[in-house]
Amino acid sequence: MGAVGVSDPAGDSELSYGKSGFKGLVAEPYLFFLACFASIGGVLFGYDQGVISGVLVMSDFAKQFPTLSTDDTLQGWMVSVLTLGAMFGALANGPIADAFSRRWSILLANVIFQIGSIIQAASINIPMIFIGRFIAGLAIGQLSMVVPLYISELAPPNLRGGLTALQQLGITVGIMVAFWLNYGTQYIGGTGDGQSPAAWRFPLALQCLFSLVLGVGTFYLPYSPRWLMMKDREEEALSTLSRIRRVPQNDHRVQTEILEIKASALFDRETIAATYPGITSPVRLSFESYKSLFVLPHLNRRLVIACLLQLIQQFTGINAIIYYAPQIFENIGLTGSSVNLLATGVVGIINFFSTIPAILFLDYFGRKSLLLVGAVGMGVCQFIVGTIYAVYKDSWGSHTDAGWATAVFIWMYISCFAFSIGCVNWIIPSEIFPPGVRAQAVGIAIGVNWLSNFIVALITPRMLNSIEFGTFYFFLGIYPFSPPLLSLYPIYLSKQT
């Protein structure tokens, strides 16, 4: 019901718009451009997540906010207040994206993001930093749920996985740019006492520019045809679909697709009318849709999968590396002339390049196979990292090769994350729900992702300090079970989705 048409990687079916993978993407430049453009939302996400760790260690930042630079707990809260904001943003954006469209909710998120970023870049006291990060977080949360939803509603089945995975590629670009930019701007005015405030204010301000581009661009983005149909704007839905598919309105594939979209919209409407007779208030109906996600078994099972997937993604421990890589690399003996920072930079680069195979192959191999391969790869790498860590924990200084071997397995772990659950978790929620509850359900699922992100960010530094190598075993104990667990629901994770 959620997904349209047939998935046919080879593109042979009569109803298919073409091939999957690279050839399919090249054949659809307009759609590819739209998805890349919307994925600037992912860039903002990654950038905002990545920029803060570099800013925190800058000497001028420490001079301006001495309490922050010495108080670990306060620092932890400053990093994670963004994720809390994002959780609320993701949850709130479901009804917003339904009421005002996916497109205008992207615009609203960018307006909010501008406010949050300006406050952060102009901060002269700690509350301003916290408030700025919380507000920017609200916007990041909104974008993180609506961008994959929007792309997946625009995409034809043969390209849906690859195009939606562009959001993840955007995230990795953001993390990478933030890291290398910080690495460069720390030299403005010198790294010591004379460091200029621009060293940290500039990276915080620059994100406004990306967001401005995305915000202005929303005036040129098409509406989602599925949303138009939900709002009874059938003619517009048809003309938008034929424009996006670049075929005439009477093309049999467009005709079939629009019929399918209409059928699911009607089915939804009639189910609601039959389930809640007499209720017309939009607020009440929205409340009932939320309720149905928890009480109707077929929706509830999908919600469980979508949320579980988010929880598992975060409990792979990915952000233990993304947030604390410099510290981890320093712990394993990669010290001296910024070696740890360079090793962290490599994390960003590997993360980016390893996302590309997912974009190319997700629609060939299916979501479940990539989840499985990635989980096995991550499991093996983390086991090796934890074990080398346990053996050499007191003698890294005299075993530099063990330190480098650990770094290599950390990079391989990142790579396995990037092509598997790093992408799949954004795709599945957007494609398994019927239209009437889709936005709300995706909002809840992505809210769970942010809540789990918040918890991991909070517990990791403590674990690294107390149980050290046990941190890797802890995460290892959770996610390798995820694909088998999720495959309990084969219908939804079949190759077609």
Q: Please report, as ranges, the residues that interact with ligand BGC according to CB under 6 A.
A: 49, 168, 171-172, 175, 313, 318-319, 322, 351, 422, 449, 453
Instruction: Kindly tell me which of 225 and 348 has the beta carbon lying closer to ligand BGC.
Output: 348
Quote the CA–CA distance of 439 and 140 in Å, as a whole number.
Answer: 16
Q: Contacts by 284-289 with C-beta closer than 8 Å and gap 24+?
A: 286/95, 286/98, 286/440, 289/436, 289/437, 289/440
**Both tokens assigned to 303:** 């919600």
Instruction: Kindly tell me which of 53 and 351 has the beta carbon lying closer to ligand BGC.
Output: 351
Quote the CA–CA distance of 446 and 120 in Å, as a whole number.
Answer: 24
174 and 51 Cβ atoms separated by less than 8 Å? no
Question: Residue 101 carries which side chain, given as an amino acid letter?
Answer: S
Q: Which of 208, 299, 217 is nearest to 2 (CA)?
A: 299
Smallest separation, CB 372 to ligand BGC (Å) = 18
Torsional sign, CA 248, 250, 255, 261: positive
Quote the CA–CA distance of 356 and 361 in Å, as a whole number.
Answer: 9
Smallest separation, CB 494 to ligand BGC (Å) = 22
Quote the CA–CA distance of 438 and 1 in Å, as a whole number.
Answer: 11
Instruction: Kindly tell me which of 94 and 141 has the beta carbon lying closer to ligand BGC.
Output: 141
Quote the CA–CA distance of 441 and 3 in Å, as a whole number.
Answer: 15
Instruction: Kindly tell me which of 160 and 226 has the beta carbon lying closer to ligand BGC.
Output: 160
Smallest separation, CB 345 to ligand BGC (Å) = 14
Burial class for 196, CB neighbours closer than 10 Å (0-12, 13-18, 19+): middle
The b-or-e profile of 226-261 (16+ CB within 10 A means b, else e) is bbbbbeeeeeebbbbbbebbeeeeeeebbeebbeeb
Instruction: Kindly tell me which of 49 and 207 has the beta carbon lying closer to ligand BGC.
Output: 49
Instruction: Kindly tell me which of 173 and 237 has the beta carbon lying closer to ligand BGC.
Output: 173
Smallest separation, CB 71 to ligand BGC (Å) = 24
Smallest separation, CB 454 to ligand BGC (Å) = 10
* DSSP collapsed to 3 states, 146-180: HHHHHHHHHCCCCCHHHHHCHHHHHHHHHHHHHHH
Provide CB contacts within 8 A for 298, sequence distance 6+. none
376 and 400 Cβ atoms separated by less than 8 Å? no
**Both tokens assigned to 191:** 């790294």
Smallest separation, CB 45 to ligand BGC (Å) = 8
340 and 402 Cβ atoms separated by less than 8 Å? no
**Both tokens assigned to 398:** 């005299």
Smallest separation, CB 43 to ligand BGC (Å) = 12
Smallest separation, CB 351 to ligand BGC (Å) = 5
The SS3 of residue 305 is: helix
Smallest separation, CB 111 to ligand BGC (Å) = 23
Instruction: Kindly tell me which of 171 and 305 has the beta carbon lying closer to ligand BGC.
Output: 171
Residue position matching structure tokens 């890589």:
325
**Both tokens assigned to 340:** 């740890």
Smallest separation, CB 433 to ligand BGC (Å) = 19
Instruction: Kindly tell me which of 86 and 334 has the beta carbon lying closer to ligand BGC.
Output: 86
Instruction: Kindly tell me which of 4 and 175 has the beta carbon lying closer to ligand BGC.
Output: 175
Instruction: Kindly tell me which of 123 and 164 has the beta carbon lying closer to ligand BGC.
Output: 164
